[in-house]
Amino acid sequence: MTRIVVTGAAGFIGSNLIKGLNARGFDDIIAVDDLTQGDKFRNLADLQIADYVDASDFYELFSHGSFGQIEAVFHEGACSDTMETNGKYMMENNYSTSVSLFHACQKRGARLLYASSAATYGGSDTFQEIPEFERPLNVYGYSKLLFDQRMRRECGADFRRSVVGKTGQVVGFRYFNVYGPREQHKGRMASVAFHQFNQFSADQKVKLFGEYGGYAPGAQMRDFVYIDDVVAVNLWFFDHPGISGIFNLGTGRAQPFNDVASAVVNAMRAPQGHGALPLEHITQAGLIEYVAFPEALRGKYQCYTQADLTALRATGCDHAFADVQTGVTKYVQWLTRQA
């Protein structure tokens, strides 16, 4: 039986990965997390796992072989708060722990598929997986970039050519703006779609940032990627153990925040029999409220991101990604059922 480890297992992406693995018949899964925030258990309650291990215990136990033969580790555990300013805490969680895990995987012969981030690009306007475009704007982005750089050194030229060499499979995924089910515990770091669902439920309108960075209100653009697509690409690489490297994981299609807001508003009005409205009519009806851009984010905010999928497509991964309207509509329907 194939045994798999998922760190950050009760988190957003980790729990969805377990769901995807369960759908394929995998249930010999070691779930690793820190449940100090106890309500995260809800993300695991409907899933099939073999064991749960606290994150404070797992890494040393794994390095000593306590869990037997592990086929692969999906490493999603990290501090993902881009506004966290405690650099020591961030580097311990996102860099040092990941380095230790990599060495343990090498020792145990386990494949490593890990979460990097589009925050590694920061102030860049080009989103290709090469050093000249990596310009993080915060310590979160730097912590992710430093581990990517470490993997480039540890894995050598084979890693950069996207084929497995002496280290076995190691894959880093630079997640763009992921949204979808099982993110309710993330608080302020949950997706715009999640917050807007709650805003519309309470006030019959949603909020977006106003003008900033030369962009009109709500016109800042991001590569929004639905969680099901993130899981599908992770599992594609799991199915192709001969491929290693760092890869963007987004749709390759930037869309404005106004598109997210329109999709949320229209999806929430649909059950009452209302037809879809264009953005112009939504704003005229006061269904979007534009708020002043926060001072705390000035100079630390990416106004535009769009994944370059050249490297991903070169591997043979041809997964088709959902656009915002499709993904957000599906997500709102899920949130409505949960409510």
Distances (CA, A) of 191 to 34, 70, 195, 212, 324: 21, 32, 7, 19, 12
Q: Which of 104, 25, 118 is nearest to 72 (CA)?
A: 104
**Nearest-angstrom CA–CA distance, 246 and 34:** 27
Is residue 53 within 8 A of residue 64, CB to CB? The reply is no
Is residue 67 within 8 A of residue 27, CB to CB? The reply is no
- 186 catalytically annotated: yes
- Residues with Cβ within 8 Å of 88's Cβ and at least 6 positions away in sequence, in order, are none
- 140 catalytically annotated: yes
Is residue 169 within 8 A of residue 113, CB to CB? The reply is yes
Is residue 14 within 8 A of residue 22, CB to CB? The reply is no
Kindly tell me the sign of the dihedral angle through the C-alpha atoms of 227, 231, 236, 241: positive
Q: Which of 143, 139, 120 is nearest to 131 (CA)?
A: 120
Q: Compute the C-alpha angle 167/90/174, nearest 5°.
A: 50
3-state secondary structure 11-80: CHHHHHHHHHHHHCCCCCEEEEECCCCHHHHHHCCCCCCCEEEEHHHHHHHHHCCCCCCCCEEEECCCCC
Is residue 169 within 8 A of residue 244, CB to CB? The reply is yes
* Per-residue b or e along 73-107, where b marks 16 or more CB atoms closer than 10 Å to that residue's CB: bbbbbbbbbbebeeeeebbebbbebbeebbebbbe
**Nearest-angstrom CA–CA distance, 136 and 148:** 13
Q: Which of 262, 112, 291 is nearest to 196 (CA)?
A: 262
Determine which one of 140, 142, 175, 301 is catalytic.
140
Determine which one of 52, 89, 186, 207 is catalytic.
186
- Residues with active-site annotation: 140, 186
